[in-house]
Structure 1
Amino acid sequence: MPVSPALTVLQLGELASPPALLVGLLLLALVIVVGRVVLAIAWRLVLIALVVVTLLWVLGVLGLA
């Protein structure tokens, strides 16, 4: 038996109210912003590690390290 969209909204109760939706969207935005900052830092660390490992490998191949 198909469920109508109106019935689904009624079953959500307080979660479907505008303030609850606003809080949920604000929390989602916060998670996305924090995730972007963390990923930006992680990318920098990975790139720095890549350069350091490459330099050490090249120095090792040349017999300087």
Structure 2
Amino acid sequence: MFDMSLPFASVLGQMLAAWATLPLQLGGLLETQLGQLLVAVVAIGVVVLVGRIVLKVAWRLVTIAVVIIALLFLLSTLGINVL
């Protein structure tokens, strides 16, 4: 489908062109209420999946920040100035 030996910009262009023609390939999917419902549920699923990934990264960053700040607080209470 995609020629991966091409530079990234060319592959990205091919992917965008494929996505642009997707509604034409699906035909009358969006013409029925059931098709519209399917597209809506799939879109919600994509948003939830991306949200889970983003929140997973965010929780790791928050955890790292808490540990670093706790260590700095502990050092400062022992009289060691690090900042």
TM-score, normalized by length of structure 1? 0.72
Unpaired segments of 5 or more residues in structure 2?
Answer: 1-29
- Post-superposition offset of 1:64: 1.9
Q: 3-state DSSP class of the match of 1:63?
A: coil
RMSD of equivalent CA atoms = 1.7
Unpaired segments of 5 or more residues in structure 1?
Answer: 1-13
Q: Name the residue aligned to 1:17.
A: 33
Task: Return structure 1 stretches of 4+ with deviation > 2 angstroms.
Answer: none
Q: Describe the shift of the 1:64–1:15 C-alpha distance in structure 2 as closer, same or farther (beyond 3 A).
A: farther
Pairing 1:1-65 to 2, within 5 Å after superposition: 17-65=33-81
TM-score, normalized by length of structure 2? 0.57
Whose helix proportion is higher, 1 or 2?
Answer: 1
Q: 3-state DSSP class of the match of 1:55?
A: helix
Pairs aligned (count): 52
